Amino acid sequence: MRFSLYLNPQTPGAAFDRDIIKAAAETAVIADRAGFAGICLTQHHFSNYNTYGNSFMFGSYLASQIKQAWLLLQVAVVPLQNPLVMVEDINLLDQLWDGRLIVGLGSGGSPLEFEGLGRDPMNRHQVMAEVMSVAKRAWAHTAGDPPLEYQTAHDRGVMRGRIMPGPFRQPHPLLARPAIRPVSWGEAGRQGVPLFFGRVGLDSAGQVMADYNAGLEESGLDEAQKAFCRSWSTMQKTVMVAATDAEAQAAIDEPLNNLHRLSVAAFAAYGDAQRKAVTGVSGDDPAAFRKAFVEGATMIGSPETFAGLIRQYESVGIQHIALHMNFGFMDPAVTRRSLELFVDKVMPQFSSERPQSAAA
């Protein structure tokens, strides 16, 4: 079992942004020194749901501070990107992190974010296909090739020359498949890439890995490459570790209520159907939100309880968990204590060996 730190701290407002970003960077360094396999960044705009917003820039900032862990983008929202700028940004991260980079490329769907950037979430899958087609051509393009002409629903252009910088890895940086739909779990395996997923309980986690492993067997990868994909396939969980189960439950109450209020506010202009389609939860009742969220998305308890939960997930094939430890406007001191308990009391019960890069 391996662990990564998932950094997606919410913010109450602009006055808090700087301290929250600094605290996120500090916990990343602590996790790296403690033996975490990766640091996970995500991308959200306009809704206070992600304080740093730009995962490419924040990842560049962290590059010189993180000595051993990898960087996992969970995820980069492809329909919001110009394809050539996206390839440049990913290549630069690949260089700064010496190839210790895995990029999950997803379609997103938050109407607040799409509207703010002049995009229509209803055609996001079509736009993602267009942007990825151009990106693959750009990664294959070299100086001296004929100009690369491209057009998507939102961008068009002609590239004369090459993408700068080139990637650390060839022919392009390592990619992953983020997926919440069952149909996509096996597809990720057949594509021969790591799978990023979350918000599933124990039974569903076992089904995810069964479908993914079945797909991997059809991928044509050798055993070392399949082992690499499994070791970097991560299940994301929102977590709280405290001295006792009761303390953990009490400490998570306010942050979960804050998450509920953020979710309602972000979709206020778009309707509850849109909210459920994007987040999987709906309704204005905090208790109902908590029940739906806790059952699939969280792991809560004392170190003993937490270790037991990890063993249950390990028994159904989970090898890697991304831990979301600062959420819902949480006091950084609470996050720090939760992280320290996890590092001191939980991690030693599991293998701390960092996953090594296979010939992917």
pLDDT the model gives residue 354? 54
Domain residue ranges in the chain: 2-245+298-349
Scored b (16 or more CB within 10 A) or e, 244-278 reads: eeeebeebbeebbbbbbebbbebbeebeeebbeeb
Say how far apart CA 344 and CA 300 lie, in whole Å.
16
Q: Which residue has the tokens 């170190």?
A: 303
Scored b (16 or more CB within 10 A) or e, 76-89 reads: bbbbbbbbbebbbb
Which whole-number Å values give the CA distances from 329 to 20, 21, 95, 286, 359, in the listed order? 9, 12, 33, 16, 41
Non-local CB neighbours of 170 within 8 Å, separated by 6+ positions = none
Model pLDDT for residues 139-193, shown as the tens digit of each residue:
999 999 999 999 999 999 999 999 999 999 999 999 999 998 899 999 999 999 9
Q: What pTM, to 2 d.p., does this model score?
A: 0.94
Model pLDDT for residues 294-320, shown as the tens digit of each residue:
778 999 999 999 999 999 999 999 999
Non-local CB neighbours of 23 within 8 Å, separated by 6+ positions = 9, 326, 332, 335
Asked if pLDDT for residue 359 goes beyond 60, the answer is: no
Which whole-number Å values give the CA distances from 163 to 52, 90, 210, 212, in the listed order? 26, 11, 38, 33
Which whole-number Å values give the CA distances from 287 to 84, 259, 268, 297, in the listed order? 44, 12, 19, 15
pLDDT the model gives residue 352? 57
Instruction: Provide the terminal-to-terminal Cα distance of the chain, rounded to the nearest Å.
Output: 20
Say how far apart CA 29 and CA 32 lie, in whole Å.
5
Say how far apart CA 96 and CA 73 lie, in whole Å.
14
Third-level CATH fold of 2-245+298-349: TIM Barrel (3.20.20)
Asked if pLDDT for residue 109 goes beyond 60, the answer is: yes
Model pLDDT for residues 65-96, shown as the tens digit of each residue:
999 999 999 999 999 999 999 999 999 999 99
pLDDT the model gives residue 353? 55
The neighbour count for residue 98, using CB atoms within 10 Å, is: 11
